[in-house]
């Protein structure tokens, strides 16, 4: 069985998959297919490969070509299954990549006969620049081009579709127990990434959902609590094991960025501000260093400043852990969207300006 997996790149409030970052979706999808069909030949392609193949060289838009680029047309012609991954909910200005839109990939794929599946956050629509409302046009087009649009977890649907297609549910979400095998088997796709092995940065998942949203609801513009109604913490053992496999494959750059707040990993629910668990975070990062002693980059992403401001002692312990086990250039992103109390209240923001200032101190 030949499978073509197209990475159109993803950017969400709690997760990044734009080169040089390799996001979670291609890895998990690759692993689910491998678990369901060991004989499957899975070719990872980027949207840049398709642009180059069908429209020629386009500078930054075709910078991220995979080793498969020169046979991309042949792969797509022979593929029984074509999986497209995309969607932007926190669009940025990217220095080395141009994420795709559904209408663009539809233009490339409408000539091929394989079963077409859309996964990733694109099912909710995409915003390709800040300040622009997401509309449903992409979703309408997706339903015309793709045989299946996955609203739940892509990896769960792919496994079900390849083992028992009659019962495959595009709305099903997997558990972290189910994810374990997909994540380990999916690590191998990194070898086909354009920046492998020296420059690829692998995005690592620790949590899904928003701890603050469980208490008082999420920020009104954020998709994380909309898509994931409850908070789930991924087991430390599973995270460490996945990084160990990736490290053995030659990956040296990691970002523990797939969570809404790294300071809230394994935290105790407590209304608006969960109580941090510095012991769990220390155990996680110590474990990462044990399985990847020679890594070159270990960074994190988001943190809720309200957690730091309200629990300074626990947060200082966590900060010391990130300093001890992380690498230079590590930044905890606070994201104070607005300091106006009226605007903050209307948007149900994570933290006040005062809390953010206290967290910075």
Q: Which two tokens stand for residue 6?
A: 């197209």
Domain's final residue, options 108, 142, 176? 176
Domain's final residue, options 128, 147, 176? 176
Q: Give the pLDDT confidence score for residue 122 in this predicted structure.
A: 81
**Is position 59 within any domain?**
yes
Same domain, 241 and 326: yes
Nearest to 215 by CA among 278, 263, 268: 268
Q: Give the pLDDT confidence score for residue 343 in this predicted structure.
A: 93
Same domain, 55 and 153: yes
How would DSSP label each residue in 326-355? S-TT---B-------HHHHHHHT-S--HHH
Q: Give the pLDDT confidence score for residue 127 in this predicted structure.
A: 57
Nearest to 119 by CA among 168, 69, 163: 168
342: how many CB neighbours lie within 10 A of its CB? 8
Same domain, 240 and 140: no
Same domain, 201 and 161: no
Same domain, 211 and 344: yes
Same domain, 146 and 18: yes
Q: How far apart are CA 56 and CA 54, in angstroms?
A: 6
Distance from chain centroid for Cα 68: 23
**146: three-class secondary structure by DSSP:** coil
**Is position 204 within any domain?**
yes
Q: How far apart are CA 203 and CA 120, in angstroms?
A: 15
- Angle, in degrees to the nearest 10, between helices 24-36 and 154-163: 20
Please, are residues 257 and 302 in contact by the beta-carbon 8 Å criterion? yes
Q: pLDDT tens per residue, the chain (361 residues)?
A: 999 999 999 998 889 999 999 999 999 999 999 999 999 999 999 999 999 999 999 999 999 999 999 999 999 999 999 999 998 877 678 999 999 988 899 999 999 999 999 999 887 765 555 444 545 676 777 788 999 999 999 999 999 999 999 999 999 999 999 999 999 999 999 999 999 999 999 999 999 999 888 878 888 888 888 888 899 999 999 999 999 999 999 999 999 999 999 999 999 999 889 999 999 999 999 999 999 999 999 999 999 999 999 999 999 999 999 999 999 999 999 978 888 999 989 998 889 999 999 999 8
For 235, the domain range is: 197-360
**Is position 192 within any domain?**
no
Q: Give the pLDDT confidence score for residue 131 in this predicted structure.
A: 46
Q: What's the pTM value of the predicted model, to 2 decimals?
A: 0.95
**Is position 262 within any domain?**
yes
**Is position 186 within any domain?**
no
Q: Give the pLDDT confidence score for residue 128 in this predicted structure.
A: 58
User: What's the number of domains the chain is made of?
Assistant: 2
Same domain, 172 and 212: no
Q: How far apart are CA 210 and CA 289, in angstroms?
A: 27
Same domain, 167 and 214: no
Same domain, 172 and 219: no
Domain's final residue, options 122, 142, 176? 176
Same domain, 134 and 8: yes
Q: Give the pLDDT confidence score for residue 162 in this predicted structure.
A: 98
Residue 261 belongs to domain with CATH number: 3.30.750.210
Please, are residues 26 and 189 in contact by the beta-carbon 8 Å criterion? yes
Same domain, 219 and 138: no
**Is position 183 within any domain?**
no
Q: Give the pLDDT confidence score for residue 236 in this predicted structure.
A: 99
Sort strands 81-88 and 2-12 into parallel, antiparallel or unpaired: parallel
Residue 147 belongs to domain with CATH number: 3.40.50
Same domain, 150 and 249: no
Q: Give the pLDDT confidence score for residue 241 in this predicted structure.
A: 99
Q: Which two tokens stand for residue 357?
A: 């200032």
CA distances for 284 relative to 71, 79, 234, 287, 317, angstroms:
41, 39, 11, 5, 14
Q: Which two tokens stand for residue 297?
A: 């980059």
- Angle, in degrees to the nearest 10, between helices 176-186 and 236-248: 10
**Is position 191 within any domain?**
no
**Is position 15 within any domain?**
yes
């Amino acid at each position: 069985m030949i499978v073509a997996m197209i990475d159109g790149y993803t950017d969400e409030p709690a997760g990044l998959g734009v080169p040089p970052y390799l996001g979670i979706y291609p890895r998990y999808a690759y692993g689910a297919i491998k678990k369901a069909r060991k004989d499957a030949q899975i070719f990872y392609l980027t949207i840049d490969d398709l642009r180059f193949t069908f429209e020629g060289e386009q500078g930054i838009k075709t910078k991220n070509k995979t080793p498969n680029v020169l046979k991309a047309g042949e792969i797509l012609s022979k593929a029984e299954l074509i999986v497209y991954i995309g969607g932007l909910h926190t669009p940025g200005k990217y220095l080395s990549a141009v994420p795709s839109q559904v209408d663009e990939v539809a233009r490339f794929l409408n000539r091929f006969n394989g079963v077409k599946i859309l996964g990733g956050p694109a099912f909710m629509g995409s915003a390709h620049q800040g300040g622009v409302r997401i509309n449903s046009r992409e979703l309408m087009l997706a339903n015309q081009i793709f045989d299946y649009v996955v609203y739940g977890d892509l990896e769960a649907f792919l496994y079900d579709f390849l083992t028992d297609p009659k019962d495959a549910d595009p709305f099903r979400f997997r558990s972290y127990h189910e994810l374990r095998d997909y994540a380990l088997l999916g690590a191998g796709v990194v070898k086909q990434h354009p920046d492998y092995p020296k420059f690829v940065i692998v995005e690592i998942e620790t949590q899904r959902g928003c701890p603050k949203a469980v208490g008082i609801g999420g920020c009104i513009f954020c998709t994380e609590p909309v898509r994931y109604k409850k908070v789930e913490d991924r087991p430390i053992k599973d995270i460490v094991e996945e990084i160990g496999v990736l490290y053995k494959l030659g990956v040296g750059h990691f970002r523990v960025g797939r969570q809404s707040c790294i300071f809230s990993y394994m935290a105790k629910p407590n209304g608006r501000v969960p109580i941090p668990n510095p012991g769990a975070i220390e155990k996680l990062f110590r474990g990462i260093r044990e399985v990847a002693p020679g890594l070159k980059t270990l960074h994190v992403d988001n943190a809720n400043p309200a957690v730091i401001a309200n629990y300074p002692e626990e947060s200082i312990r966590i900060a010391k852990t990130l300093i001890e086990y992380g690498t230079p250039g590590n930044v905890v992103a606070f994201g104070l969207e607005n300091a106006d109390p009226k605007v903050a209240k209307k948007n149900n923001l994570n933290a006040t300006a005062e809390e953010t200032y206290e967290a910075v101190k």
